Amino acid sequence: MNDSDEAGVFLGLDVGKSAHHGHGLTPAGKKVFDKQLSNTEPKLRAVFDKLREKFGTVLVIVDQPASIGALPLTVARDAGCKVAYLPGLSMRRIADLYPGEAKTDARDAAVIADAARTMPHTLRSLQATDEITAELTVLAGFDQDLAAEATRTSNRIRGLLTQFHPSLERVLGPRLDHQAVTWLLERYGSPAALRKAGRRRLVELIRPKAPRMAQRLIDEVFTALDEQTVVVPGTGTLDVVIPSLARSLGAVHEQRRAMEAQITALLEDHPLSKVLTSLPGVGVRTAATLLVTIGDGTGFPTAAHLASYAGLAPTTKSSGTSIHGEHAPRSGNRQLKRAMFLSAFAALHDPASRTYYDKCRARGKTHTQALLRLARHRISVIFAMLRDGTFYEPRTPRLA
Give the 3-state DSSP-derived string for 49-66, with helices as H, strands as E and coil as C.
Answer: HHHHHHHCCEEEEECCCC
Residue 381: its pLDDT value, please?
Answer: 94
**Nearest-angstrom CA–CA distance, 349 and 269:** 28
**Residue 80 carries which DSSP code?**
T
Q: Where are the alpha helices (DSSP H) in the chain?
A: 41-55, 70-78, 88-95, 105-118, 131-164, 166-172, 179-187, 191-197, 199-206, 214-227, 238-268, 273-277, 284-294, 303-310, 334-346, 351-362, 367-388
What's 2-128's CATH class?
Answer: alpha beta
The CATH 3.30.420.10 domain(s) of the chain lie at 2-128
Using CB atoms within 10 Å of the CB of residue 9, give its burial: 0 to 12 exposed, 13 to 18 middle, 19+ buried.
Answer: buried
> How many other C-beta atoms are found inside a 10 Å radius of the C-beta of residue 257?
10
Residue 21: its pLDDT value, please?
Answer: 94
Residue 328: its pLDDT value, please?
Answer: 58
Residue 75: its pLDDT value, please?
Answer: 94
**Nearest-angstrom CA–CA distance, 39 and 19:** 5
Provide the β-strand partners of residue 24. 11, 33
**Nearest-angstrom CA–CA distance, 285 and 260:** 7
Continuous segment of H or E residues that includes residue 3: none
pLDDT digits (tens, 9 = 90+) for 199-238: 999 999 999 999 999 999 999 999 999 999 999 999 999 9
- Straight-line distance from the first to the last Cα atom of the chain, in angstroms, rounded to the nearest whole number: 30
Residue 399: its pLDDT value, please?
Answer: 60
Sequence-separated (6 or more) residues with CB below 8 Å from residue 100? 107
The CATH 1.10.287 domain(s) of the chain lie at 134-265
Residue 367: its pLDDT value, please?
Answer: 94
Q: Is the CA virtual torsion 342, 334, 117, 71 positive or negative? A: positive
Specify the pairing of strand 19-25 against strand 9-14: antiparallel
Residue 31: its pLDDT value, please?
Answer: 94
What's 134-265's CATH class?
Answer: mainly alpha
Angle among Cα 25, 30, 35 to the nearest 5 degrees reads 55
Q: For the chain, which residues score pLDDT lower than 50?
A: none
Using CB atoms within 10 Å of the CB of residue 19, give its burial: 0 to 12 exposed, 13 to 18 middle, 19+ buried.
Answer: middle
| pTM attached to this predicted model | 0.72
**Nearest-angstrom CA–CA distance, 74 and 303:** 28
